[in-house]
Structure 1
């Protein structure tokens, strides 16, 4: 990865997978999919919390997949408005994922001890992956803002 530095414009084609911060789409997609798969497979006594977590994780997953596909296809054509769109998407995703991760972690304290053994492990894993996804989105956001300022 010799071109693993931040560029002032968005790369086209498979160069998206070799430039930073665009390579962060891959862990965003992986961690996000793990969150919604784990939340969807868990049995929950209070579904209200998990509704928000599912909404955030699926929405951000779809957003990341869509942006990655558009960048690989080269639809952006080097215009700076796409750099702005990238920043806006990361600005939205980072706090949304943080709220979902905190809600998922807070849910663990509400589980009664009798049902804890049944759903505890899946929800702990979902919480950990939600915090990892938050971290990746924040890092992507910081470097996207730097690219936006320099464009």
Structure 2
């Protein structure tokens, strides 16, 4: 399977999720910008995958990231980010979303497990009520300390402009 084959439109994803569910697979969902892939992302996504059978990654569009993080972001365009994320062996599906939060996507996918890093409390995770209302679980996984795209960008900027 090519990485491109793991990038879905929402209708395609919903069909795939239905197929996985018919096979008894548990769907794990997480989301983020994933602007520069780093060890913290890899560790987080690997842990998320181990919580179920199939890992669906909601990826913010370029417009969404610019609204959230400012006009200098994202550093990489959405299709570049989608391909990089889809290339990871523990990511089963990537779907772009243009809203500021993944709430509508979570409502559509209805994951069995919603996961974010442990920098969130369960009550702070967007969509936790939706998932819990249909009997799903909301979990956090420990993050590798010291890794963030923002910190990497600052380090690069400091090396360019000491």
TM-score between both structures, scaled by the size of structure 2: 0.29
Name whichever structure is richer in helix by fraction: 1
Normalised TM-score (structure 1): 0.30
